[in-house]
Amino acid sequence: MKSLELRNYNKALQAATEFFEGDMETAELWMKEPASSLGGKCPVEMLSTEEGLHTVLEVISRMEDGSFQ
């Protein structure tokens, strides 16, 4: 994993862990599961760019709002 991907992964994992109420194991599993809100891609696949990170964080934000999972 490249440094940008690692940094983005850590940011996304932190946000997902907060969403899953501190359950990092569930957050890590979610990061590796395909998401319809990401066009069937896994969140971890989106983290090679800042735009991808923004998209993943937006999905987590919408999940927090109850918009979708």
pLDDT at 66: 87
pLDDT at 67: 73
**Phi/psi at 25 (nearest 5 deg)?**
-60, -45
What are the sequence ranges of the domains in the chain?
3-65
Instruction: Give the pLDDT confidence of 4-48 residue by residue, as tens digits.
Output: 999 999 999 999 999 999 999 999 999 999 999 999 999 999 999
Instruction: Give the pLDDT confidence of 51-69 residue by residue, as tens digits.
Output: 999 999 999 999 999 876 4
**Among candidate residues 25, 31, 49, the one with its CA nearest the CA of residue 63:** 31
